[in-house]
Amino acid sequence: DEYKSAMSFEWPWQYNFPPFFTLQPNVDTRQKQLAAWCSLVLSFCRHRKLYTLDVLEAQESPVFNNKKIERKLSVEAIQVVFEELRKKGNLEWLDKSKSRCLIMWRRPEEW
Amino acid sequence: VLTRAVGIVGIERKLEEKRKETDKNISESLSRLVGRPLIMHSTAVINFISLDSANHYLSLQAKEMVEVSKSIANKIKDKQGDITEDETIRFKSYLLSMGIANPVTRETHGSGTQYHIQLAKQLGDILQAPLEERGGMMALTEVYCLVNRARGMEILIFFPAALRVKLMMVSDKGSLTAEEFAKLLGLSVLLAKERLLLAEKMGHLCRDDSVEGLRFYPNLF
């Protein structure tokens, strides 16, 4: 079930670091933070075999919501992470309002 | 009728006497410099220092002072060498007492002002202990309060000293809020937050903004 699957997934150290869930104002720090988020989202989706994501649903999924440390990434921050993934070629929006997206664990050119 | 000055009344009376004497001195010195007798509106000069310059009456008085000081400035320029270094310094402190900066005169005749040099020295003495008590850093407004409280009625209007900003790291407490950091270092919350934000800007710290408040962590990213 979902819980077991979430447990067997190997979370990066950042996942238990509270500042990971606040978008950092320092440009350099934010860059490193976003890189870690991108790699986490991709490996999580690969682990769960997820191909599409809904922004609002995603916020409740364990990847963006760490119940152990009671931290949740805001919808705005999730949008920023997704936008970063799109720039890297790992994500495509399915609608104009950017509420649903396709997630590609590997970029098209890697296939 | 009270003949002996007591308490605040006594202090005020003493200050008033001292002020009149200063007025007279300034007036006399200026007269000497201009070369003609000058009728000074006593107290106006001194009042101008501590009161708002928007005050119409006092501004009028000050305007007169500006005219006078301009003519002196020209005199200094014309007769370079005629006026001694000592007189130049004295003139500068008059200008200062009126809140008039005269960069041309200031730059061509001697460097800095006696007033500022002495003031900086005095501040160094006054602030040494309070600074140490507060972890080596104080807000300018705090310094202002402390110094002016100590000086009583002769308050400062100029503040030449810029205090060095010192960076400090969040201790091995793991994470801290500005309030906790303030308590730890014995600083004001405002200053503590300033330091934390600076450390964040330099990339030493990062933030955790949640319902529990704004916490700062060492930047592990």
pLDDT at B89 over 80: no
What value does the mean pLDDT of chain B take?
63
**Mean pLDDT, range B101-130, rounded to an integer:** 60
Chain B (183-212) residues lying within 8 Å, Cβ to Cβ, of chain A = 200-201, 203, 206-210
Q: Is the separation of the CB atoms in A47 and A5 below 8 Å?
A: yes
CA distance A4 to A6: 5
Give the lowest-confidence range in A3-17, B72-86, B148-162.
B148-162
Same domain, B138 and B171: no
pLDDT at B203 over 80: yes
Q: Is the separation of the CB atoms in A80 and A34 below 8 Å?
A: yes
> Which residue, chain included where needed, has tokens 């963006």?
A64
Q: Is residue B98 part of a domain?
A: no
CA distance A17 to A7: 17
- For residue B54, the SS3 value is coil
Q: Is residue B140 part of a domain?
A: yes
Same domain, B136 and B170: no
pLDDT of residue B195: 77
To test the contact with chain A by mutation, choose from B177, B200, B206 the residue with the greatest count of A C-beta atoms within 10 A, namely B206
- For each of chain A's 111 residues, which pLDDT tens digit applies? 555 555 578 899 999 999 999 999 999 999 999 999 999 999 998 888 888 888 888 888 899 999 999 999 998 999 999 999 999 988 888 888 888 888 888 766 665
B219: which chain A residues are within 8 Å (Cβ-Cβ)? 26, 29
pLDDT of residue B162: 29
B175–A18 CB contact, under 8 Å: yes
pLDDT of residue A30: 96
pLDDT of residue A17: 93
Write down which residue in B139, B154, B169 finishes a domain. B154
Same domain, B148 and B189: no
A22–B220 CB contact, under 8 Å: no
B220 contact A CB<8A: yes
What letter would DSSP give residue B1? -
**Mean pLDDT, range B172-195, rounded to an integer:** 78
pLDDT of residue A94: 87
Q: Is the separation of the CB atoms in B42 and B24 below 8 Å?
A: yes
Give the distance from residue B130's alpha carbon to the nearest chain A alpha carbon, in angstroms.
33
Same domain, B139 and B188: no
Q: Is residue B117 part of a domain?
A: yes
Q: Is residue B206 part of a domain?
A: yes
pLDDT of residue B49: 33
CA distance A54 to A79: 11
> Which residue, chain included where needed, has tokens 């005219």?
B67
pLDDT of residue B134: 73
Write down which residue in B102, B134, B154 finishes a domain. B154
Give the distance from residue B200's alpha carbon to the nearest chain A alpha carbon, in angstroms.
7
- Strands laid side by side in the A52-54 sheet: A52-54, A100-103, A91-93
Cβ contacts of B24 within 8 Å, gap of 6 or more: B42
CA distance B190 to A103: 44
Q: Is the separation of the CB atoms in B24 and B39 below 8 Å?
A: no
A18: which chain B residues are within 8 Å (Cβ-Cβ)? 175, 208, 210, 215, 217
Range(s) of the domain holding residue B163: 158-220
Q: Is the separation of the CB atoms in B99 and B53 below 8 Å?
A: yes
Top-confidence residue, B71 or A104: A104
What ipTM was assigned to the predicted interfaces of this complex?
0.85
Top-confidence residue, A6 or B84: B84
Using CB atoms, pick whichever of B203, B210, B220 lies closest to residue A17: B220
Q: If interface means Cβ-Cβ distance under 8 Å, which residues of chain A face chain B?
A: 13-14, 17-19, 21-22, 24-26, 28-29, 32-33, 36, 70-71
Residue B64 pLDDT class (50, 70, 90 cuts): low
- For residue B66, the SS3 value is helix
pLDDT at B83 over 60: no
Cβ contacts of A99 within 8 Å, gap of 6 or more: A54, A55, A56
pLDDT of residue B192: 79
Tokens of B112: 């800095």
Q: In this predicted model, what pLDDT tens digit does every residue of B1-44 receive, in sequence order?
A: 445 556 777 777 777 777 677 666 655 655 554 444 444 433 33
pLDDT of residue A73: 93
CATH of the domain at B171: 1.10.10.10
Q: Is residue B169 part of a domain?
A: yes
Domain total for chain B? 2
Q: Is residue B45 part of a domain?
A: no
Residues of chain B with pLDDT > 90, as a percent, come to: 4
